[in-house]
Structure 1
Amino acid sequence: MLTCPLCASAETPYFHRDARRDYHRCTNCWLVFVPPDQRLAPEAEKAVYDQHCNSPDDAGYRQFLSRLYTPLRERLAPAAQGLDFGAGPGPTLSVMFEEAGHPMAIYDPFYAADRVVLERQYDFITATEVAEHLFEPGLELERLAGMLRPAGWLGLMTKRVTRWETFPRWHYILDPTHVIFFSDATFEWLAHHLDMRLELPASDVALLQRKPW
């Protein structure tokens, strides 16, 4: 039996198989994940990301990011400092927050791999369309939560499983770089595990707030 990459449970029975890979579902945190030996190699993974043409000049992309940007900005104090984790080849969300008066740092393992920014504390951290790519989500999300100042926010944007029976037809699993899939129950488990408050303002947005002490 495979170990869940989020909660480390060994209760992860087979859930689904398609033409390319297998999917297991953890019965503790309800994360669905692809076995490690069926993930892309780093070079192949980056080749997919290199095809993205995102840019701050793209109004449509800004509108897409506003699903996270708008509810998170409403909860921030003026000049709150942030980190965009997994900014990708065309950082845009960080630009949007900077335009609103929030100093930003960026990090991406392929395009902005300055790990110095991971040694600082922030008022908020964003990760848009990042969570579904994480090989070690338990480790990564705990680290991000630990980088928040008291009352800080962790804003995640990733599509959630809404109905188990429609998972085999879900377009989100077609991307070969998507290797883990959250549901509402998964985020509820995560919030409890991290001792954070959870809000789900949209079908693909999760906001977790650290306690103010």
Structure 2
Amino acid sequence: MQQSICPLCGHADTLRYNAQLHPPYWQCQRCALVFLDRHHLLSAEQEKQHYLLHNNDLNDAGYRLFLNKLAAPLLQTLGNTTKSGLDFGCGPGPLLANMLQEAGHQMQVWDPFFANDPAPLEQQYDFISCTEAIEHFVDPLNEWQLWLQLLKPAGVLAIMTKCYPTAEAFSNWYYRRDPTHISFFSQATFRWLAAQYQLKVAFPANDVVIFSKAG
């Protein structure tokens, strides 16, 4: 089977990640991204319909607690002064943006399906949050470069996603079974990104990574 080009770093040296799986998943030997073969993606409409099945109730205390896993370390990083933020990939219910706004920050939201006004992508921010969205990106390099453009100097990027397990465990991993999850990261991938783009990186909790841009 022909190798797949890595959609994050563009490297051609990719190997099957658990060769028993079909459709195939590949692991980049440069940045360690694991990704679904791009010939097996859902259509945009199928993807949107899948998201509409999610129950992201703004009044759900459990969902708020889940998002606080990222919100708490992000707020600690931001300090006490009011900052401008963008919640990227907010989905149909922008609860995280509401939580950060309640904490005193000025928030904008953007999502390709549910909040795709281009205006929020035409300004810069003190911080960007992205919870449970990066694993959906078809071309993660595009979003990564966009984020770096949207962040002000000394800006903060906070991401929450599940880091992938060993190749053996990957086949039965529940997170992989979501048909919209197509790009999988590890701490090694995030460290590679930090080194590649001269960012500081921290892992304040499981599944949470915070990057800081130089001032």
TM-score grouping bracket, smaller chain normalisation: over 0.9
* SS at 2:78 equivalent: coil
1:49-95 CA-to-partner distances (Å, cap 9, x unmatched) read 01112122111000000110000000114211100000001110000
Question: Kindly, what percent of the aligned residue pairs are identical?
Answer: 44
1:84 and 1:119 map into 2 onto residues whose CA distance is: 14
Residues 128 and 44 from structure 1, CA distance in 2 versus in 1: closer, same or farther, beyond 3 angstroms? Answer: same
Q: Which residue does 1:155 correspond to in 2?
A: 158
* TM-aligned CA deviation for residue 17 of structure 1: 5.0
After alignment, is 156-165 or 75-84 more displaced? 156-165
Aligned equivalent of 2:147? 144
Alignment of structure 1 residues 67-86 onto 2, 5 Å: 67-77=69-79, 78-86=81-89
Q: Does 1:10 align with 2:2?
A: no
Q: Secondary structure in 2 aligned to 1:169?
A: coil
How far does residue 18 in structure 1 lie from its aligned partner after superposition? 5.8
AA aligned to 1:139 is N
2:197 matched to 1:210? no
Deviations 1:5-27 (A, max 9, x none): 00000001122256652100000
Tell me the TM-score normalised to structure 1 length.
Answer: 0.96
Check if 1:115 corresponds to 2:129. Answer: no
Structure 2's unaligned 5+ residue stretches are none
CA distances 1:132-154 after superposition (whole Å, capped 9, x unpaired): 00011012112102211111100
**8 Å contact kept, 1:55–1:91:** no
Alignment match of 1:28 (pick from 24, 27, 30): 30
Of stretches 192-201 and 25-34 in structure 1, the one that deviates more from structure 2 is 192-201
Match of 1:173 in 2: 176
